[in-house]
Amino acid sequence: MPAYLTDHSARPSLFGLLVVACHVLQPLALKGKDVLEVGCGRGGGAAFLARYHRPGTLLGVDLSPKAIAWCRKRHVLPGVEFREGRAEALPCSDSAVDVVVNVESSHCYASMSGFLSEVARVLRPGGHFAFCDLRTATGWARMRPGFDAAGLEILQEECINGPVVQALSIVQYNQQVDITHCLR
C-alpha cells in the first residue's frame, strides 16, 4: 500500500474510498493529465487526487448543487474546479480529458448506457476510464456490453473485494479509536 494511504488524517469514511480509488488508478499516471471525476460528492477524492497525483487539471462533477457548493468552499486548489452536472450529460466538451474517474457512484445513475456514452465522448483518443462500483456478478455481466456499445475497450478487469474489505476494516478501527478517544 502506498505510504500516503497509511496517513489516517483524512476522515475515516473517506479513507476507505481513497484505498479503492488508488487501487483502480494504480496503473495510470495522472501527473500533468486532464482528469474528470464523475460523482465527486463532497470532493475529498478529487482533492486527494490533486494533492497526491498532480494532474494538470481536475474537474469534479456531481448532481448535487449542495455538494458542489461545499467542494468549491472546502477544496480550493490550483487546477481544480467543481461543476454541477449529470453523469448522463457531462458538462464538458468532446475529447476534453485524458482520464475519467468514477468510484462507487454509477449504481445511482438513471442510465448506465448514457453515462458510458458520455465517458466515451469526453475522453481524448488514447484516454482511460478508471471505474469501480458495487455490482453483483450478474449485474456486471448485464452492464459489460454497455462498454462495448459505447466504444470503450476493457483493458483490465478485477474483483477488488479484498482491498475493499481491508479498507472497511481500517475505517471501522479508526471509528472505534475516535469513539474511545471521545469517551475518555
* pLDDT score for 25: 75
* pLDDT score for 77: 95
Query: Cα–Cα–Cα angle for 154, 93, 143, nearest 5°?
Result: 30
Give the domain ranges of the chain: 11-183
CA pair distance 93, 63, nearest whole angstrom: 18
CA 78 to chain centre: 19
- Dump pLDDT digits (tens) for 68-98: 999 999 999 999 999 999 999 999 999 999 9
Q: At what angle do helices 44-53 and 12-25 cross, to 10 degrees?
A: 50
The answer to whether 18 and 104 have CB atoms below 8 angstroms apart is no
The pTM for the full model equals 0.81
Which helix H or strand E contains 52, and what residues bound it?
helix 44-53
Class of domain 11-183: alpha beta
Return the amino acid letter for 13.
S
* pLDDT score for 174: 57
Q: Kindly list the distances between the CA atom of residue 37 and the CA atoms of 107, 129, 146, 176, in Å, as whole numbers in the listed order.
A: 15, 10, 20, 30
- Dump pLDDT digits (tens) for 112-156: 999 999 999 999 999 999 988 878 888 888 989 999 999 999 888
- Which residues make Cβ contacts (< 8 Å) with residue 73, sequence separation at least 6? none
Q: Kindly list the distances between the CA atom of residue 152 and the CA atoms of 22, 58, 121, 126, in Å, as whole numbers in the listed order.
A: 21, 21, 10, 11
CA pair distance 104, 18, nearest whole angstrom: 11
- Dump pLDDT digits (tens) for 18-74: 655 666 677 688 999 999 999 999 999 899 899 988 999 999 999 999 999 999 999
Is pLDDT of 1 > 60? no
Is pLDDT of 168 > 90? no
